[in-house]
Amino acid sequence: MNSKKVKIGNVYIGQDSPISVQSMLKIKSDDFKKNIIQAQKLEKAGCDILRVAVPNFEAIKNIYNLKTKIKIPIVADIHFDYKLALESVSAGVDKIRINPGNIANQDHIKLIAKICNEKNIPIRIGVNSGSLERKILSKYKKITPEAMCESAIYNIKLLEKFDFNNIVISLKSSDVKKTVIAYKAIFQKINYPLHLGITEAGTEKLGKIKSFVGIGSLLLDGIGDTIRITLTSDPVKEVKAGIDLLKSLNLYKKNINLISCPTCGRTKIDIISLSKKAEKIFSNFKYNNKNLNIAIMGCEVNGPGESKFADIGIAGGNEFGILFKKGKIVKKVEEKYLLKELVKEVDDLLGINL
């Protein structure tokens, strides 16, 4: 099912739009200076959409400040008090996220829908397994994917009743399987764009694994329009993880796709060290939005033969290696100069001036 296109500031999600990467500020909302610094780091790292907690009216100042310092759209994360949503819209926020588990009064939702309609601001119905509405929990007795879907559909119909259709949906749980089942079910029933995520996924290592399994499996099935990797860590790492996930699925706008062989007994050069150094070099911001397949192979079996699809690559030999383009050997290079020669050739191909 092709999802509806929704505009969030200067970013589109849904339909044929590229999948965007989101994150959230993790600084106390009253420390405006540090919030700006973190937001700018996230923007530089490739964050497309940034969410900000709005726990009180003092935090609204964050939105005003951030709007003058960054270009990426800002989402106000609203819980409990509907008036915070109204004030956030007045402050120039680009999207509102509401939790139906703690903002359920129809009159309040109607007011939020009205002001968002007037400003053409989308609303994300952010269903969270840990805060489902009491009536739904009472019906299902426990947290289930079906309960999460029912919450989302009820709130979609509520917004639609108030003539509001600028909607994004998320159904998050810390349970990967429940999350995947919930998203697959809702995908069959609606055409609003889906924000994918595993909530409270955990620390950097475990959180990545959970998110990659859950979000990755959905993306492979063509489900999802924007993602957030949730980690108990620096939010810049969330963005980098999100970009890496999209790159691995060939879903990231334009990017350097670096492949390397796992090495074996045939390998005669230090391919592990070469690959790590190459990864660090090609993650530099100057390679952002550049589209190229680069292969780093340990021997003549994997390269250039098995990696002939690569635009450019290197393959190891005995103290020497070869540089190849589109499967054809271009030159023989001493091992110690292999990486340097590869970078030079890549920069020439991409027209990058050092």
Binding-site annotation, residues for [4Fe-4S] cluster: 261, 264, 299, 306
Cα 144 to Cα 150: distance, rounded to the nearest angstrom: 10
Cα 50 to Cα 43: distance, rounded to the nearest angstrom: 8
Q: Side-chain half-sphere of 146: how many Cα atoms within 13 Å? A: 5
Do strands 320-325 and 328-334 pair parallel, antiparallel, or not at all (unpaired)? antiparallel
Do strands 74-78 and 49-53 pair parallel, antiparallel, or not at all (unpaired)? parallel
Cα 224 to Cα 136: distance, rounded to the nearest angstrom: 25
Which residue do the tokens 């860590």 mark? 233
Give backbone dihedrals phi and psi of 209, rounded to 5 degrees, phi first. -60, -50
What contacts 24+ positions apart, CB below 8 Å, involve 339-343? 339/274, 339/277, 339/278, 339/281, 339/314, 341/314, 342/278, 342/294, 342/296, 342/312, 342/313, 342/314, 343/281
**Residues of the binding site:** 261, 264, 299, 306
What 3-state class would DSSP assign to 27? coil
Cα 293 to Cα 346: distance, rounded to the nearest angstrom: 10
